[in-house]
Chains A and B, each alone.
Chain A
Amino acid sequence: MSETATIFTLPASRDPARAVGEGAVVRVLLIGAALGFVGLFLFIPLAAVFSQALAKGWSVYWTSLREPDALSAIRLTLLAAGIAVPCNLVFGVAAAWAIAKFNFRGKSILITLVDLPFAVSPVISGLVYVLLFGLQGWFGPWLSEHNIRIIFAVPGIVLATIFVTFPFVARELIPLMQAQGNEEEQAALSLGASGWKTFFRVTLPNIKWGLFYGVILCNARAMGEFGAVSVVSGHIRGLTNTMPLHVEILYNEYNFAAAFAVASILTMLALVTLGLKTLVEWKSRRQFAELSRDRREGGES
């Protein structure tokens, strides 16, 4: 850009950097508006969570985290995420392999369908399972005959969590694997590697950062989901309450310090997620830069 720019912006009196920039006043105003907005909507709410959590001191904070209902909520949240994330991980990798490595009709429809759960309100995500497995639902009578509980029980919570976190891994991997193409895998296969070996030795190292990125976002949503889980949970204390639902119950009982104590754990989880996400973005950008540099040098030699 510099060469052409210096040729055409001849008059030396006109500093090109100034001509395409804003005056100091405008600059300060814009930065001020941006910081004000971010401060009002991001920093102050964050500060509020921690300040309210500690409003009654550390001992109340610790007790509210160690009481049995809180512990069982933490356990259930870990269980739901522990099932939902691996399921969606396997599905995400399989879907990305089928969609990115092969050509078939209806591919764009399939991609849209994979993204569908993001377009659905969390409340509806819970509702669909109530309509299927609830007492008045399609399978309700059969399930109650066989004494199986899905709605207002743990399986419903797991299902709703799987639904809302369904697209995360797949939508991260599909564009990544499409961009990487099939060449490396085909080289490995032609050298006699099996399909599985090719996947673990060639594909997986190439997609590891994208995969990790998808998994941490999937996990954050799985642990934090409220609406969908709230519809199928039935809010049975100590049995079907996840951490976000426990926060709601405590808050509605005006037990603010305890509600914010549990909320502060979820907030720290969100902050760790953002930190890891930034790290992965930085790592994958570097990996991408190295990749394109290798390609360029390889092309020249």
Chain B
Amino acid sequence: MPGFGITMGITLTYLSLVVLVPLAALFLKTTTMTWSSFWHTVSDARVLAAFRLSLGASLVGGVINTVFGVILAWVLVRYRFPGRKLIDALVDLPFALPTAVAGIALTSLYASNGWIGRILEPLGVKVAFTWLGVVVALTFIGLPFVVRTVQPVLEDLDREVEEASASLGASRAQTVLRVILPEIGPAALTGFALAFARALGEYGSVIFIAGNMPMRTEIVPLLVVIKLEQFDYAGAAAIAVAMLVVSFVLLLFINVLQWWSARRRAFA
């Protein structure tokens, strides 16, 4: 086969120029700080509050998406009803819709005079400009992940196993809990981790609905932007590196999870 030299050359050059060198510059920037000033920046109360909100809201959004994602995948694979294909195609909307558009649309819905905010406000629930708004935005952008990881597993799931379980006297609930859920568990967990990782770095859809009040509704990516606007490049780089470390740990977790579920399936 010809072309290894040229394609590999293009790949490595382009990858280095566009991705690797710029990312290396980020890590290099933090080496201009002393360890204590790095730590001081990252452990600042405002930064810690932002990490708490980002991690907490991403976690809640991820859990909501895991529960409804599994239900949605199940309904799309197993049942036939009008509009099924339309819904199947629309599940990817959060991937295709620009995040700023999602942000302003959700804010206008959940603001106190919005379609949904108007209903929730009298009940004493405020969503826009509170941490709940952050959860709503992060749920929106993470919606496709669990559906799209669980769907193929459900399609491949052998019905005979369920029939065997039923013919051995298991109730439907037992079959679902003991046979089906363990099969889709690793895929759902992978989807959760992907949604969580995406939510952690998300910016555009959140900043409109969050209200961005210091110590209360600021997400971590916003703090990077604020530091940049103050021309505190090193501070921005330090927070960015802290975020990257968290994402890479998550990525590692996802890879281990996929390796583990592949091995499980191979031995099954």
Q: Which residues of A approach B to under 8 Å, CB–CB?
A: 1, 4-5, 8-9, 14, 16, 19-23, 26-27, 30-31, 33-35, 37-38, 40-46, 48-49, 52, 87, 90-91, 94-95, 97-99, 101-102, 104, 110, 113-114, 116-117, 119-124, 127-132, 134, 136-138, 159, 162-163, 166, 182, 185-186, 189, 195, 198-199, 217, 220, 223-227, 230-231, 243-245, 247-248, 251, 256, 259-260, 263, 266-267, 270-271, 273-275, 277-278
Complex Cα gap A226–B28 (Å) = 26
Judging by beta carbons under 8 Å apart, are A19 and B72 in contact?
no
Q: Determine chain A's interface SS by DSSP, over half rule.
A: helix
A31/B75 contact (C-beta < 8 A), A44-B109, A97-B7 known: yes
Residues on A with C-beta less than 8 A from B4 are: 98, 101-102
Q: Does residue B266 face the partner (Cβ distance < 8 Å to A)?
A: no
What is the distance, in angstroms, from B81's C-beta to the closest C-beta of chain A?
6
Complex Cα gap A270–B105 (Å) = 14
Judging by beta carbons under 8 Å apart, are B79 and A31 in contact?
yes
Residues on B with C-beta less than 8 A from A122 are: 99, 201-204, 221
B1-25 to A contact mask, C-beta < 8 Å, 1/0:
1111011101100110011111101
Judging by beta carbons under 8 Å apart, are A97 and B3 in contact?
yes
Residues on B with C-beta less than 8 A from A40 are: 116
Stretch at the interface among B34-42, B45-53, B182-190, B223-231: B223-231
Judging by beta carbons under 8 Å apart, are B166 and A19 in contact?
yes
Q: Which residues of B approach A to under 8 Å, CB–CB?
A: 1-4, 6-8, 10-11, 14-15, 18-23, 25-26, 28-29, 68, 71-72, 74-76, 78-79, 81, 85, 87, 89-102, 104-106, 108-109, 114-116, 139-140, 143, 158-160, 162-164, 166-167, 172, 175, 197, 200-204, 208, 221-222, 224-225, 228, 231, 233, 236-237, 240, 243-244, 247-248, 251
Judging by beta carbons under 8 Å apart, are A114 and B15 in contact?
yes
Judging by beta carbons under 8 Å apart, are A48 and B19 in contact?
no
Judging by beta carbons under 8 Å apart, are A34 and B72 in contact?
yes
Judging by beta carbons under 8 Å apart, are A270 and B251 in contact?
no
Say which residue of B3, B101, B225 sits within 8 Å of A247 (CB atoms).
Answer: B101
